[in-house]
Structure 1
Amino acid sequence: MRIVLATHNPGKVPELRAILRESIGEAFDDVELTTAGELGLPDPVETGVTFSENALLKARFVAEKSGSPAIADDSGLIVDVMGQAPGILSARWAGKHGDSAANKALLLAQISDIPDDKRTARFMCAAALVIPGDSGSREVVQTGECPGRILREERGDAGFGYDPVFLPDEQEDPTRPLTFAQMSEQQKDAISHRGKAMRKLAADVTSLLF
């Protein structure tokens, strides 16, 4: 069985492979896990106004084009004092998609006068599974959330995006709190919004496909 991850980022594959293997067990040995990028599929235009809408949009597109079950996710940062912002615009908050340095600089400037105890935020992720079929597709969406707060300066060199300024509430050692950018991949995956959403979705993959 082939399952397509709706992404052009091969770095997302190992995490999903590990999560699916844990959920499915030995049957995962018969799964071919590939990406939309490896199949030469373009990225669809993300016209949704919520994480769930965009995740479903991407999964539907890839399922239709590939004819295989597809998994997609969409995520972003929500800063409480800013309402739902940056939200679905997280990756292009400063205007150019993927300019992490500009996005972080703008965000920090926008909340520079906010006291530390009011800088609460959370990462949100929606993960979607779409299974194509002759009588219509089956669709499932799961969500994950990781609460924390925004620091005033960056800490750590790992991760990406807003990771260096995001301090999650859940910590292995509360006396030495780490940002996402200071954590190992395993530490981050265990508590991250994406890890939580994908683990929920893995249960749906198991029940619907195996």
Structure 2
Amino acid sequence: MSGGASAASQPRLVLATRNQGKLRELRELLRGQVPGLDVDTQVVDAASLEAPDVVEDGVTFEEISLKKAHAVARHTGLVAVADDSGLSVEVLGGAPGIFSARWAGRHGDDASNLQLLLDQMADVKPEHRNAAFVCAAAVATPAGEEHVELGFLAGTLLTAPRGTGGFGYDPILQPHGMHVSVAELDPEVKNSISHRGTAFRQLLPELVRLLAGSHDDASGGGR
């Protein structure tokens, strides 16, 4: 870090992503939770600290999120947070799962991934179309401490996309107890029930503890 930067503006937490939407969500989750933490300047993304991309070769959401968090923590010397998420379909034995973003073969091709899954589920009866979004949110420190939490949003797979909000498989998952797809939800409602929001809210106490400890060390309280 630059020696000319004031302590008040130096990063204290890095999110292992280049997704600005995720960064905004984490900042809002932490706002007012940690004394002395300026979330707008001290909570940053991996790109701002030139952290390298991490090969996502784990076999569970937890493994992948922890690997990303540890790699970024080691590279930056900061407390790091990462997440990994996807769609788990009951009749497919949990697939697409960790392969959700590349189910049709090319990473990030949402339209093809969604259409392939709809085709695979075309003849499946409504009572067997249970599915859930899953998110693993992890935090790691440069010293090797780690913690991970899981969040879920369960529902039923629709037979055709509905709604224009969200991304990925949002247009074809109808949360249990609702009559709309995730893509039709108001963003605030979606954030309040989403798998990612749930996982990060469960992670928050550990994250706050680690940030409080890193602040004590940086200010000399640990000496």
TM over 0.5: yes
1:1-16 map, 5 Å: 2-16=12-26
1-structure distance, mates of 2:48, 2:34: 25
Pairing partner for 2:183 from 181, 184, 193: 181
Tell me the residue number matched to 1:106: 116
Do 2:34 and 2:211's aligned partners in 1 also have CA atoms closer than 8 Å?
Answer: no
Higher relative contact order (CA 8 A, sep 6+): 1
2:34 touches 2:208 (CA, 8 Å); kept in 1? no
Match of 2:153 in 1: 146
Give distance in 2, aligned partners of 1:4 and 1:101: 30
What letter is aligned with 1:88?
I
What CA distance in whole angstroms lies between the structure 1 residues aligned with 2:140 and 2:94? 27
Report the equivalent of 1:208. 210
Q: Quick check: which has more Rg, 1 or 2?
A: 2
Greater shift in the superposed pair: 58-67 or 162-171: 162-171
Q: What is the rounded CA distance, in whole Å, between the counterparts of 1:72 and 1:119 in structure 2?
A: 30
The AA in structure 1 aligned to 2:110 is S
In structure 2, which of residues 75, 95, 99 is the aligned counterpart of residue 65 of structure 1? Answer: 75
Residue 48 in structure 1 maps to residue 58 in structure 2: yes
- 2:106 pairs with 1:96: yes
- How far the C-alpha of 1:28 sits from its partner, in A, is 3.2
Q: How does 1:105-144 map to 2 (within 5 A)?
A: 105-133=115-143, 137-144=144-151
| Alignment partners' CA distance in 2, 1:102 and 1:66 | 36
Partners of 1:119 and 1:28 lie apart in 2 by 44
* Larger mean Cα displacement after TM superposition, 98-107 or 33-42: 33-42
Q: What's the Cα RMSD here?
A: 1.4
Q: Secondary structure at the match of 1:160?
A: coil
Could you tell me how far apart the structure 2 residues matched to 1:104 and 1:87 are?
Answer: 13
Q: CA-to-partner distance for each residue in 1:40-69, whole Å, 9 max, x for gaps?
A: 222111110000000001001100111100
Q: Are 1:29 and 2:31 an aligned pair?
A: no
The structural deviation recorded for 1:26 is: 4.6
Q: TM-score, normalised by structure 2?
A: 0.86
* Aligned-partner residue type, residue 126 of structure 2: D
Does the 8 Å CA contact 1:147/1:169 hold for their aligned counterparts? yes
Cα deviation, residue 209, structure 1? 2.4
SS in 2 for 1:49: coil
- Alignment identity in percent? 47
Question: Where do 5+ consecutive residues of structure 2 fail to align?
Answer: 1-10, 213-223
- d(CA) in 1 for partners of 2:77, 2:171: 38
**How much does 1:170 deviate?**
4.8
Number of residue pairs aligned between Structure 1 and Structure 2:
201
Q: Which consecutive unaligned segments of at least 5 residues does structure 1 have? A: 172-176
What does residue 192 of structure 2 align with? Answer: 190
Counting only pairs closer than 5 Å after superposition, residues 160-175 of structure 1 correspond to structure 2 as 160-171=167-178
